[in-house]
Each structure stands twice: as C-alpha cells, then as structure tokens.
Amino acid sequence: MTGAYAALESRFKRLGLVNEAVAMLNWDTAAMMPEGAAGARAEQLAELKVIAHELLADPRLADLLDGAASDGLDDWQLANLNEMRRLWLHATAVPADLVAAYSRACSECEMAWRKARPANDFASIRPLLQRVLDLTREVAAAKASKLGVSPYEALLDQFEPGGRITEIDQLFDHLAARLPALIEGALTVQAEQPAPRRPAGPFPVESQRHAARRLMDRLGFEFDHGRLDQSLHPFCGGTPDDVRITTRYDEADFARALMGVLHETGHALYERGLPAAWRRQPVGEARGMSIHESQSLLVEMQVCRSREFIEFAAPILRVCFDGNGPEWSADNLYRLGTRVARSLIRVDADEVTYPAHVILRYRLERALIADELELVDLPEAWSEGMERLLAVTPPDDRQGCLQDIHWYDGAWGYFPTYTLGAMTAAQLFDAAKRAVPGIPAAIAHGDFAPLLAWLRANVHGLGSRFSAREILVRATGKPLDAAVFEHHLRARYLAA
C-alpha cells in the first residue's frame, strides 16, 4: 500500500470527526438548545458543513483517489475507496456557496416549522419551504449531472446509494395495488373480534420514561454509550459511540412514546454494531437508509408487536404503570398493539396502513422536485392522496403536509426508505428465524441476544462493505421481495 490510500484514510477520519460534531449539534438543536440560540446554531452548522464540503471537494483528492486505486488493498479497503469516491462525486458536484446557502435555509425553515406545525400555519412557512425547495432543485440538478442519474435519484442516492426510481415504482405500485384489500381485510377480521380495552391514563411522563429505559436495556441499548431525551419529532442521532434517542410523550397514551423509543432503539443498535475497526471511514458507516430503517422497523414492528414480545413486556408495563385488570393482559395489549385504523399521522400509523403514508410522500416529493406540483397546491394534493390511498381526509395542514419534519429540514429523497425498510425488515426477520429457530422463544423470555447476534453478523458488522442489495442477498438468499412483506401482513392481520 502506497501513501495515497493512507492519506485518504487520514482525510476521511477528519471528515468523520467534523460530521460527528454536526450530528451532536443537530441533536442539541432538537433536544436542548434554547430558542434564542437558533441564529448562532444555524451559522455554526453552516460553517461546519462548509468545512466538510471543502474536505471532500479538495482538488487534490482526485489524484489521491486515482493513486490509491493501484495500491495493494484488501476487500475492506477497496470497499472503503469506492465509498470515498461516491462521496467525492456528490461533494464536487455542488459549489461551497450553495452548500452554505442550503444549510442556512434548512436550519431557518426547520426552526420555523416548530412553530408553524402546532399553529396549523402552512402559509407562514411556505416562503421558507419554497427557498429550501428551490435550493434542493439546484443541488439535485448539479448532482444529477455529475452522477448521470435523474435529479430525484441524485437526492435518493444520498440516503439510498444506487437507488433507482424504476425499482421503487415497481415495488410501491405492487404494494399500493394490494393495500386496499389488505387494509379492508384486516379491518374485517378485527371487527369480528371483541374490541380490546384501552388502559386508562393518565400515564406520567416519568413512568413512561422508566418503562422505555427498561425495555431499551433488555433489547441491548448501552446507556454508557447513549441517552434518551425528548424532542418535538422522535429521532436517533449522535454517533456510533454516543447514540442519542429522542421521543415525545403523551400522558393519555403511553404506547405512542414507547413504540417511538423502540423504533429508535433499532436504529441505535445498528449504529452501535457498525464495525469499530472502521470508525470514521465511509465503509464503516451504515449502508443507506433502507437498511437503517429496516433495523428500526425490525425491532418496532417485527419484534415488539409480536405476541412473544408482548408476553415478555406485559408484566413490566403493569409494574411501571401500576396496571391491573384485563386491559393489562398480554392478549389485550397485543390486540391493541396490532390495531389497524385508517389514520392521518404517519408516525402513529399501524404497519398495514403505514406504507400508504410513505407512498403518498414519495409521489408528492417526486412531483415537487420535478416542478410538476407547486407548493401552494401541496395541501390539496396531500388531501387528495390521503383520500385515494387511505380513504381519510386531513381536516387541517397540521395533520397533513405540516406533520413531518423531513422537507422542512432538507431531507428530500428520504421517504421511500421507510417502506423499503419495512420490506427489508420482514425479509431479514424471516431469514433470522429460519437460521436460528429459537429466536421467537428467546424473545418471549426477554432474551434478545440470539437475534442481535444474527443481526451483528449479517447486517450491522458489515457497515458499507456491500451494497444494500448484496447485504440482503447474503443474509436472506434473494433480493428485496415485496411478497415476503405481504405474507407477513397477511399472517399477522388476516388470520382469524
């Protein structure tokens, strides 16, 4: 190995440290920062992002990338070099002044969204969102030219490397065609059974936090390497060695925060399981967001809404909330946890209706990026899409196009990874149970080590050495197959 590859690793380690600082500031912005610091924080983040951009766009990097290609690299180093080149292509496509302007616009819009959403005031934030959208289109066009893909695919590649519209459309169209019958069938089966009884609140925030921490600990979350905090929108951030989870609490419904925490715990376990030997190197990072979302949804949906998990968790919940009576039985809690309903809010949706929320957002953001839909028409388009896909209509924008943070803080091209992740989760969990048949019984006893060990070996520990498709094929024997997800939904929700 000559000096070119070593020099690249050194540069990317520095880039990794800058990105870690950005991640921690983003967490602080959402969870701890006083409102009056927003302007200063926007400047800090913009400057750090410019530094990161300059590290990647340094003209000398091109020679180092070419020089390292002839070094005697092993498989991990070659994969690292490929990831370095992909990141370099993204960075060199966008000038530094556009990076800074985009960062500032997203920070300003995201802070305004915090007020606009509870106030149901889309009109006030629309000019700021328009600025973000205009800059997003500029970034997308620049990257599309460099990468040789469509503008939307250039945005998608930031979250799902190699993702293509044709593949997503095929998967989503297949699912969208079957969702109405799946939803109606689940509702029919549900109606034929006695309605579950909802435990009566209020559920104090401290009790909810205690229950969440107990279950996080049993799942394998390491509190000496992470925290649980509160924010307006639940997320998992930080770094692999300092993972930060947030949730939002509702004293009338403990399940909303708890399931949010379990979802983010799946993300956190993935981050902690990434290969430590490749920290702050591209190959040591998560392999795109469909894999990342698969880990959160595998925990939240596949595992934590299973009968086995509820059998284990029910006694813990009864103790944490001083619960007694039939509404706290494992069977009742399971039926509550798998309740299907046509709802307005994505983050609260059940796993049968959830894909419809994602498909709607995917189609809308594609139209917005392509300038086929104007922002002023977004609320109406949103309402029409919800009626078409879920047969519900939002009464206001707070429960419509204001509900998600993604577009307001610049995460365009992210939404499809949620349902790609749900499909991947079903396929991975199915493969894990076939490889280790004792996993369901272990979960029923609160032992998640067999499942976590399988995930560490087949997903987490691989980092970005392989593509998402290769990881899935290696772990399950085939590429992403929507039929596996459909089979899971039928088995859980349509079986009498």
Which residues are CB-contacts of 239 (< 8 A; sequence separation ≥ 6)? 20, 23, 24, 271
Among residues 306, 317, 293, 334, which one has the least CA distance to residue 424?
A: 293
Cα dihedral 194→200→204→207 (10° resolution): -50
Q: Are 402 and 381 in contact (CB under 8 A)?
A: no
The verdict on 349 and 416 lying in the same domain is: yes
The verdict on 173 and 155 lying in the same domain is: no
Tell me whether strands 226-230 and 235-239 are parallel, antiparallel or unpaired: unpaired
Among residues 269, 313, 263, which one has the least CA distance to residue 446?
A: 313
Residues in the chain: 496
Cut 0.85: pTM above it: yes
pLDDT attached to residue 496: 57
Tokens representing 374 are 């104007």
The verdict on 75 and 197 lying in the same domain is: no
The verdict on 176 and 156 lying in the same domain is: no
> Residue 86's Cα: distance from chain center in Å?
21
Select from 101, 135, 161 the last residue of a domain: 161
Select from 161, 187, 215 the last residue of a domain: 161
pLDDT attached to residue 183: 96
Q: Which are the catalytic amino acids?
A: 264
User: In terms of residue numbers, what domain contains 21?
Assistant: 3-161
Task: Print pLDDT tens along the chain (496 aa).
Answer: 469 999 999 999 999 999 999 999 999 999 999 989 999 998 999 899 889 988 998 989 999 999 998 878 999 999 999 999 999 999 889 888 998 899 899 999 999 999 999 999 999 999 999 999 999 999 999 999 999 999 999 999 999 999 999 999 999 999 999 999 999 999 999 999 999 999 998 999 999 999 999 999 999 999 999 999 999 878 999 999 999 999 999 999 999 999 999 999 999 999 999 999 999 999 999 999 999 999 999 999 999 999 999 999 999 999 999 999 999 999 999 999 999 999 999 988 999 999 999 999 999 999 999 999 999 999 999 999 999 999 999 999 999 999 999 999 999 999 999 999 999 999 999 999 999 999 999 999 999 999 999 999 999 999 999 999 999 999 999 999 999 999 999 999 998 5
The verdict on 157 and 177 lying in the same domain is: no
The verdict on 113 and 196 lying in the same domain is: no
The verdict on 369 and 291 lying in the same domain is: yes
Distance, CA of 129 to CA of 52 (rounded, Å)? 24
pLDDT attached to residue 446: 96
The verdict on 249 and 363 lying in the same domain is: yes
Domain harbouring 259, CATH code? 1.10.1370.30
Q: Are 229 and 30 in contact (CB under 8 A)?
A: no
The verdict on 132 and 189 lying in the same domain is: no
The verdict on 191 and 101 lying in the same domain is: no
The verdict on 189 and 83 lying in the same domain is: no
Distance, CA of 494 to CA of 486 (rounded, Å)? 11
User: Amino acid identity, residue 458?
Assistant: N
The verdict on 91 and 184 lying in the same domain is: no
Among residues 167, 143, 145, which one has the least CA distance to residue 155?
A: 143
Residues pairing with 237 in the sheet: 244
Distance, CA of 448 to CA of 219 (rounded, Å)? 6
Give, in order, the Cα–Cα distances in Å from 482 to each of 174, 177, 421, 426, 467: 8, 12, 11, 9, 19
Select from 161, 189, 204 the last residue of a domain: 161
Main-chain phi, psi angles of 198, to 5 degrees: -85, 125
pLDDT attached to residue 495: 84
3-class SS string, the chain: CCHHHHHHHHHHHHHHHHHHHHHHHHHHHHHCCCHHHHHHHHHHHHHHHHHHHHHHHCCHHHHHHHHHCCCCCCHHHHHHHHHHHHHHHHHHCCCHHHHHHHHHHHHHHHHHHHHHHHHCCHHHHHHHHHHHHHHHHHHHHHHHHHHCCCHHHHHHHHHCCCCCHHHHHHHHHHHHHHHHHHHHHHHHHHHCCCCCCCCCCCCCHHHHHHHHHHHHHHHCCCHHHEEEEECCCCEEEEECCEEEEEECCCCCCHHHHHHHHHHHHHHHHHHHHCCHHHCCCHHHCCCHHHHHHHHHHHHHHHHCCCHHHHHHHHHHHHHHCCCCCHHHCHHHHHHHHCCCCCCCCHHHCCCCCHHHHHHHHHHHHHHHHCCCCCHHHHHHHHHHHHHHHHCCCCCCCCCCCCCCCCHHHCCCCCCHHHHHHHHHHHHHHHHHHHHCCCHHHHHHCCCCHHHHHHHHHHCHHHCCCCCHHHHHHHHHCCCCCHHHHHHHHHHHHCCC
pLDDT attached to residue 471: 98
Total domain count, the chain: 2
